[in-house]
Amino acid sequence: MYELNYKKAKSIDEATKAVGASGDNKFLAGGMTLIPTLKQRLAKLKDVVDLSGIPDLVGIKVDGKTVTIGAMTPHAQVAASPDVKKAIPALAKLAGGIGDPQVRNRGTIGGSISNNDPAADYPSAILGLGATVHTNKRAIKGDEFFKGMFETALQQGEMVTKVEFPVPEKASYMKFPNPASRYAIVGVFVSKTGNNVRVAVTGAGPVVFRQGEMEKALSSNFTPAAIEKIAHKADGLNADIHASAEYRAHLVGVMAKRAVAEANG
């Protein structure tokens, strides 16, 4: 790791001032991606500004219609929350499948979506549930948040403060994890509220995306059979040592069908 200065902020205001307009400084959430990135010298920073001392950023709030998760809430808390399990069990399941227990004790939803790893789990829930991402400056629709590989709508110095998920009628998340890292080779999040169906795919492409053809088919018939014949195209999908683009394309269909089956209970 290159040399850096560690700073700890006590408030959102203090943190955004400390990071400022310079790209040389970054917010430090759980650090589960940032610290390994720094260790590999893939990034060089002047200051890291730790957000763990800001109580406003932590917590889970559930009312009848929404589940709101503070940006610095670790995955383990979301996974274990009886309120989340009751309101959106798919979200608790997703959080409980990220990395491993030690990672889940540190990693946060705000860090995960701000980093926007193409194989991260949470982006699929943001898109798959139509969540709203709140920052210190504005509210961003989930559909407009993820821009490209490791790229989001966030500007320098802008910080995710909380994520608001609408409670769906039904939802499920299914992933085919990389057996070593537990990142999604392909993960599919489906949700249904009335005739509004969302199918969000992570791990398969450079950035999380919605599968419109499947959404359309499922909106009139929410069963695995409805998407049986939809073959996702391999064009533009990721290919690496873990899986070819064709294999990932196939997994999109398999995981989507399994997710619909689970959502239907």
Partner 1 sequence: MPTVSMTVNGKKTSAEVEGRTLLVQYLREKLGLTGTHVGCDTSQCGACTVHINGLPIKSCTILAQQCEGQNVLTIEGLAKDGKLHPMQEAFRENHALQCGFCTPGMVMASIGIVDRHRKDSLDEKTVRHELEGNLCRCTGYHNIVKAILAAYPVMKG
Residues near partner 1 (CB under 8 A) are 1-6, 8, 28, 31-32, 35-36, 38-40, 48, 50, 52, 76, 80, 99-103, 105-106, 180-182
Tell me how far apart the terminal alpha carbons of the chain are, to the nearest angstrom. 47
Q: Smallest gap, in angstroms, from Cβ of residue 45 to partner 1?
A: 9
Residue type, 116: N
CB of 29 to partner 1, least distance (A): 11
- Our CB check for partner 1 shows the closer of 32 and 204 to be 32
Region class of 8: left (phi > 0), else alpha (psi between -120 and 50), else beta: beta
Q: How far is the CB of 41 from partner 1 (least distance, A)?
A: 11
Smallest distance from the beta carbon of 39 to partner 1, in angstroms? 7
Give least dist CB 53 to partner 1, A: 9
Quick one: 39 or 147, whose CB is closer to partner 1? 39
| Nearest residue (CB) to partner 1, 11 versus 102 | 102
Q: Which residue pairs from 51-59 have beta carbons closer than 8 angstroms and sit at least 24 positions apart in sequence? A: 51/9, 51/15, 51/27, 51/110, 51/159, 52/8, 52/28, 53/8, 53/9, 53/10, 54/9, 54/10, 54/11, 54/12, 54/15, 56/11, 56/12, 56/161, 57/12, 57/110, 57/161, 57/162
Which C-beta is closer to partner 1: that of 6 or that of 194?
6
Which is closer to partner 1, CB of 93 or CB of 198? 93
| Residue from 250, 129, 143, 229 nearest 186 by CA | 250
Q: Shortest approach of partner 1 to residue 2 CB, angstroms? A: 7
DSSP 154: P
Q: How far apart are CA 221 and CA 170, in angstroms?
A: 14
Give the Å distances, CA to CA, from 62 to 70, 163, 164, 166, 199: 12, 12, 10, 10, 23
Q: Closer CB to partner 1, residue 12 or residue 35?
A: 35
Q: Which two tokens stand for residue 256?
A: 């989507």
Residue 16 or 33 having the CB closest to partner 1: 33
DSSP 71: T
User: Rounded to an integer, what distance in angstroms lies between the CA atom of residue 63 and that of residue 141?
Assistant: 20
